[in-house]
Amino acid sequence: MSILGDGGGISLPMGDNVQVVEVILTITDAAAERLRAVLAEEAGEDLVLIITTLSGGCSGHLYDMQVAERPDDSGFQHLDVDGIGVSVHNRDSERLNGIQVDYVDTLMGGGFKIENPNADRGCGCGKSFG
Amino acid sequence: MGDSRPTGPLWFERASCSRTVLSGADAVDLLQRITTNDLEEMSATDVRNTCLIDANGRMLDLLSVWHLGTELLLMGSENQGEVLRAHLADAVSWKDDVQAADADGVLTLLTLVGEGVDDVVCHLVGELPESGRWLMGETCWCARPVHKGEADCWDIVFQAGNRQEVLSLLSTHGVSRADEHTWQQERVSRGWLEGGREVDGTVIPLELDLWDSVSFDKGCFTGQEILARMESRGKLARTLVGLSCSAEPTLGRQHTEAGSVVVTSSVEHSRLGWIALALVRPSTMEDDGKFSMQGDAGEVEVEACILPFR
C-alpha cells in the first residue's frame, strides 16, 4: 500500500522538459574499427550502439554505452555513422549533439573516450561531465 | 528577553519542508548517483540522511530518506522543494524506472520536541523506533529527525485525513503547538539546519558538520571530488558554530577580527539570550572564540561555541 493512500499526491514530470535537437556525432577511425569488432562479436540482429547520459558522476552526468538491438521506441533518433548504427534518445540529444567517439589504446587502460563540446567540465576519470 | 518557552513537549508543523514520494525499480539507484550518502543497502524501515549537492559540492537540499518498501519518502529542507523536484526531473534518464509524486498536500510532517515526547511516541507507534529506523502506528509514521539531536525529538508523518486524530492524540498527551518563535528557539539552540538559512546553495555539507550524511567509499556521485578533496586535506574553510551574543546580531556576512563570519540564523532565547548560528573560520574556535561584530543596534560582543548550546 502506498503511503499516499487514496490522496495519490501530484505526479511530477520526470525528464519531460528537455529540448530535443537533431543529433550529429562523429566516430574516429580507431573507434569505428573497435566498434565494428564489438558488433561482430555480439549475437543478435540489427545491433546498434546506444549512447546515453545518466545523472551522477563527479561532474553531474555519466556516459553509458551499450550494444543492443535497435530500440523500438519512438523516443530514439537512429543514426548511421560510417556504416555503424547509433541510437540516441531524444532526452539525451542536447547533451550528446556534436560529440566525437574515440578509442584510445594504452598500457595504462584504454577504452572509448567521448569528446563533448557541450561539457563545461569533466572529472579525472574522464567518465563524468557537466 | 523573548517569549517564554512553553513548558512540556511541543509539536511544530514543518509545512515548508518538501515531502516527495519516489517509486519504481531505479529510485534508490537514482538517489545513489546524485546524493552524498550510501543508500544502496537501505531496506524497508530504514531512515538515512543524504545531501543533494551540485558539481561544486554546494548544498541544494538536505534530505531524510525513509525506505517504505516499494516507495521512498524524501523529506527536504525548508523551501527547497522546487529545487529538489527540478533536480530529480532533470536527473531521470530514459533508462530509469522512477516515478515521483509531490506529497506536500497529502502528507503532514510534524517535529515533536521536549521532555516527555518519548512517551507520546510510544503511544503513537507502540514503541520507540530504533535509531535510523521508522515505525508505523495506526495513524502515523515516526522516526528521529534529519538533524543531529538530543534524545527528546521525533519526526512524525501522517496522511492529511488523519490530522484531527493525530492532533487530538497529541493534545491528550499534553503536547502543545509551538509558534514560530518557539520553534526557532528550539532549532537554533540545538543547531538544527534550515533550508534558505544554513542550507543555501553556497555551503558544503562538511562545513555544516554533515559528515554522517556523506559516504566517502560508495563511489562517484555528483560533487564527490570536492568533498573527497576536503576530507583528504582534513581542512575546512569554515564551520558552523553557535554564537552567544550580547544583543541581536546582523544576519549575513561581515568581516570581524575573527575573519569573515556569516550569521545564518538568530533568535532571542528565553534562557540563553540572543543566540545565533554562524559559519566561521575553524581557527576562531582554537582561540577563545570571543570577538565583536555588527548588530542591528550597534556593536555586539559574541562568544562562539560548539553546537548544541548548553
pLDDT at B146: 67
Which residue from A4, A62, A127 is facing B106, i.e. has the nearest CB? A4
User: Is residue A14 very low, low, confident or very high in pLDDT (cuts 50, 70, 90)?
Assistant: confident
Check B94 against A89: CB less than 8 A apart: yes
Say yes or no: A5 contacts chain B, CB-CB below 8 A: yes
Domains by residue range for chain A, with CATH: 26-129 (2.60.300.12)
Q: At what angle do helices B117-125 and B163-172 cross, to 10 degrees?
A: 140
B27-34 and B81-91 helices cross at what angle (nearest 10)?
110
Task: Give residue A108's pLDDT.
Answer: 74
Residues 42-81 (A) with a CB less than 8 A from some CB of B: 52-60, 62, 64, 73, 75
C-beta atoms of A11 and B101 within 8 A: yes
HEC string for B102-164: ECCCCEEEEEEECCCHHHHHHHHHCCCCCCCECEECCCCEEECCCCCCCCCEEEEEEEHHHHH
Nearest-by-CA chain A residue for B91: A55
Give mean pLDDT, residues A107-111.
Answer: 78
Beta bridge partners of B168: none
Interchain CB distance below 8 Å, B55 and A130: yes
Are B58 and B201 within 8 A, CB to CB? yes
- pLDDT by residue for chain B (310 residues), tens only, comes to 445 556 789 999 999 999 999 999 999 999 999 999 999 999 999 999 999 999 999 999 999 999 999 999 999 999 999 999 999 998 999 999 999 999 999 999 999 999 899 999 999 999 999 989 999 999 999 998 866 666 789 999 999 999 999 999 999 999 999 999 999 999 999 999 999 999 999 999 999 999 999 999 998 899 999 999 999 998 899 999 999 999 999 999 999 998 999 999 999 999 999 999 999 999 988 878 999 999 888 999 999 999 999 8
Find, in chain A, the residue whose alpha carbon is nearest to that of B89: A14
pLDDT grade for A91, boundaries at 50, 70 and 90: very high
Rounded to whole angstroms, the Cα distance separating A108 from A89 reads 32
The per-residue pLDDT for range A20-51, each reduced to its tens digit, is 999 999 999 999 999 999 999 988 889 999 99
Query: Of B20, B90, B225, which is closest to A123 when you measure between CB atoms?
Result: B225
User: Can you give the pLDDT at residue A105?
Assistant: 84
CATH number of the structural domain B10-189: 3.30.1360.120
Parse chain B into domains and list their residue ranges. 10-189, 238-305
Quote the pLDDT of residue B2. Answer: 47
Q: State residue B1's pLDDT score.
A: 47
- State the amino acid at position B161 in one-letter form: G
Quick: pLDDT tens for B167-208.
Answer: 999 999 999 999 999 999 999 999 999 999 999 999 999 999
Name the A residues in 85-104 with CB < 8 Å from any B CB: 89, 91-92
Give the CATH number of domain B238-305; options: 1.20.200.10, 2.40.30.110, 1.20.1250.20, 3.40.50.1820: 2.40.30.110
Predicted local confidence at residue A111, as pLDDT:
87
pLDDT band at A79, cuts 50/70/90? very high
Report which of residues B279 and A126 the model is more confident about.
Answer: B279
Question: What pLDDT is recorded for position A124?
Answer: 67
Q: Are B64 and B230 in contact (CB under 8 A)?
A: no
Say if the Cβ atoms of B55 and A121 lie within 8 Å: yes
Specify the pLDDT at position B26. 95
pLDDT of residue B154: 95
* B104-118 per-position pLDDT tens digit: 999 999 999 998 999
Q: Which residues contact B65 (CB under 8 A, 6 or more apart)?
A: B31, B39, B42, B47, B48, B49, B50, B72, B73, B74
Q: For position A126, what pLDDT does the model report?
A: 65
* Residue in B34, B89, B101 nearest the CB of A15: B89
